[in-house]
Amino acid sequence: MFLFGMKYFLVATGLLSFLHLSSCQSSVQKIATPKPTKANAAVSGKSFATLKRGHGVYLKQCAQCHEHRLPNTISLPAWHGKIDKMSDLAGLSKAEEEDLQAYLGEFSDR
């Protein structure tokens, strides 16, 4: 009888854990980082390709370990400090770092 009850307890615990993780995952996906447009490129003076690459670096490298944070929630000087500290740890090339700076510079709260 004890094993029968324990089996259902473990199944219920596993199901609740799965549902909790699913809800966390979906809440992260709801936070959308802005995709660059050609209009953003024209305003920033950076190429559209540069902004797209920076957006890709942000999603691939930064969001891999950190929660998605909209670029405009942090000032540009604060982003520069974070990128300087994290680029070596993330293994970013100088070109990736520059593209990321350009992307965040366009979308940050200056």
User: Does residue 25 share a domain with residue 55?
Assistant: no
Three-class DSSP category at 90: helix
pLDDT at 9: 54
Same domain, 2 and 45: no
Q: What is the pLDDT of residue 26?
A: 37
Query: Tell me, what's the pLDDT at 57?
Result: 93
Say whether both 22 and 41 belong to one domain: no
Containing structural domain, residue 70: 32-107
Q: Do 37 and 88 reside in the same domain of the chain? A: yes
Same domain for 25 and 66? no
**Closest to 92 in 3D by CA, of 53, 66, 42:** 53
Q: List per-residue pLDDT tens for the chain, 110 residues long.
A: 445 555 655 455 554 444 444 444 434 444 578 899 999 999 989 999 999 999 999 988 888 887 777 777 778 888 888 888 889 888 999 999 999 999 988 888 76
Please report the pLDDT score of residue 55 as a whole number.
93
